[in-house]
Structure 1
Amino acid sequence: MRFVLASQSPARLAVLRAAGVEPVVRVSGVDEDALAASLADPTPEELVTALATAKAEAIARDEDDDAVIVGCDSMLRTADGEVHGKPGTVEVARQRWQKMAGTTGALLTGHAVLRVRGGQVVARAVGHESTLVRFGRPAEDELEAYLATGEPLQVAGAFTLDGLGGWFVDGIDGDPSSVIGISLPLTRRLLRQVDVTVSDIW
C-alpha cells in the first residue's frame, strides 16, 4: 500500500519522515482561490477541510494502485477573526506580522484521508485541527531580516514553527505537528476510520 502525500510542502514531508513514513509526494494543482470562492460562506474550519479534500481527490483520480492519500491545508485565524493563507508578497507578510505581533492566533489545518483500491476511492475520512499560537514581538530589524529570507511568503499565516519563524513564536497550545502542516494524532485517527493503522505505513 502506497502512502501518498498530496502536498508539495517540505515541512509536511519532514514531519512524516521523522514519524517513520516515506510518502510518495504528488502535487494536486488545485486552484485554491477558485475553490474558496465557490464555497457559500464557509467557516474557516470548513474551508481548510474542503481544500484538503479537493487536493486529495485530485490525486485520487490518477491513482490506480492500492494507496492511502492524505491532503492537508492550513490557514491562520488571527485575533480579529480574519483568516489568512499564504501572504505571497513581502508587503502582505509585513502587514500580517505587524498585526499578529504580541497576539494569539489559531492555526487551522484541514485533513482528508482517502483509501484507494483498484483506482476507486473506497473510504474517506476528514477532519481539522486547531492549535493556538502565541506570537512574539520581533523588532523591526528582525522582522525585515525575516521577510528578506522569503520564508514567510509561502506559508500559512506568514510564519513557521520549525524554521526561521520559530524565533518569533513564544509558545503554542495544542499539537505542534499540526502547526507545521500535518497533525500526526489527527491523521492517525483518520487512518483508523479508513481501516489503516499507523504500523501499516511505517
Structure 2
Amino acid sequence: MTIPFILASASPARRKLLQTAGIDPIVRQSDFDESKVPLSDTIALVTTLAQCKAEVVAKQWSDGLILGCDSLLEVDGESYGKPSSPQEAITRWQKMRGNQGILYTGHALIDKRQDQQLLRCGITKVYFADISDEEIAAYVASGEPLKCAGCFALEGKGGLFVEKIEGCHSNVIGLSLPLLWQMLKELGYKVTDFWNF
C-alpha cells in the first residue's frame, strides 16, 4: 500500500521517533496560532491543538494520513508549554526539581482516504531529580530546555535529570508510538504498511 504519511510538526524529535519506528514522514509545519485555543483543561487543550495543526496541513493534501501532535507538562496543577526565555526556564526548573509532573501529548490522526479523524491523548508521569541551581543554570545555558514543551528533552541532556517515568517513554519525547500503532489499527492500517524497506 502506498499512502503518504504527513507529520504536521517541525519537531525534529517527533520526526526521529517516526523514523526510528520505520516511518519516514513528509514534514509540513502547520504554523497554527496556538493562542486561538484558550482552553484551561490540559487534555482538551493538547488534543484540540493537535487537531487544529493536523487540519491546517490536511487542507494541502487530497490523500494520506496527517498526524498532528501537541505536548504540555503539568506541574502542581499548572500547565506549561515551551519557556519563552532562559529566566522562565530557570524558574520552571526550580519548581520541577525534586518534584513530579505529568506530560500530556495530544495526537490527531486525519485519514484523507477514508475521511476519518481520531483524537487521543498520551499521559506519562515524570519524576525529576533534585538538581542544584548550578546544574539548572548550566542546563538552561545549553539552550535545550528552550526548545521543549516540558523544559527538558528526555532524549538529550535533560535525560540526566529524570529519575523515572510511569507510562509511555516516547510520549515524553513528543509522540506515543504505541498510541500511534493503536490509532493506525483502529483506522484499519498496519504500521508495516508505512515502513520504508
TM bucket (normalised to shorter chain) is: over 0.9
Q: Does 1:174 align with 2:171?
A: no
Q: Deviations over 1:8-52 (max 9, x none)?
A: 1111111111111100000001011222x2x4xx41101000000
The one of 52, 55, 65 aligned to 1:54: 52
The one of 18, 21, 40 aligned to 2:20: 18
Q: Quick check: 1:106–1:130 contact (8 Å CA) kept in 2?
A: yes
* Percent sequence identity over aligned pairs: 46
Where structure 2 has 5 or more consecutive residues not aligned to the other structure, the ranges are none
Letter in 2 for 1:166: G
**Residue 92 of structure 1 aligns with which residue?**
88
Q: Quick check: 1:88–1:154 contact (8 Å CA) kept in 2?
A: no
Q: Deviations over 1:138-188 (max 9, x none)?
A: 222211111111110121120110011111111101100000000001111
Question: What is the rounded CA distance, in whole Å, between the counterparts of 2:6 and 2:189 in structure 1?
Answer: 13
Q: Which runs of 4+ in 1 moved over 4 A?
A: none
Letter in 1 for 2:13: A
Question: What is the rounded CA distance, in whole Å, between the counterparts of 1:57 and 1:193 in structure 2?
Answer: 19
Letter in 1 for 2:136: L
Cα drift, residue 129 of structure 1: 0.8
Q: Does 1:106 align with 2:102?
A: yes
Cα drift, residue 53 of structure 1: 0.4
Q: Does 1:134 align with 2:136?
A: no
**Residue 193 of structure 2 aligns with which residue?**
200
Q: Secondary structure at the match of 2:150?
A: helix
Q: Quick check: 1:114–1:194 contact (8 Å CA) kept in 2?
A: no
Q: Secondary structure at the match of 1:14?
A: helix
Q: Secondary structure at the match of 1:93?
A: helix
Where structure 1 has 5 or more consecutive residues not aligned to the other structure, the ranges are none
TM-score normalised per structure 2: 0.95
The one of 41, 44, 49 aligned to 2:42: 44
Q: Does 1:143 align with 2:136?
A: yes
Cα drift, residue 190 of structure 1: 1.2
Aligned-CA RMSD value: 1.1
**Residue 69 of structure 1 aligns with which residue?**
66
Letter in 2 for 1:160: A
Q: Secondary structure at the match of 2:115?
A: strand
Q: Quick check: 1:74–1:109 contact (8 Å CA) kept in 2?
A: yes
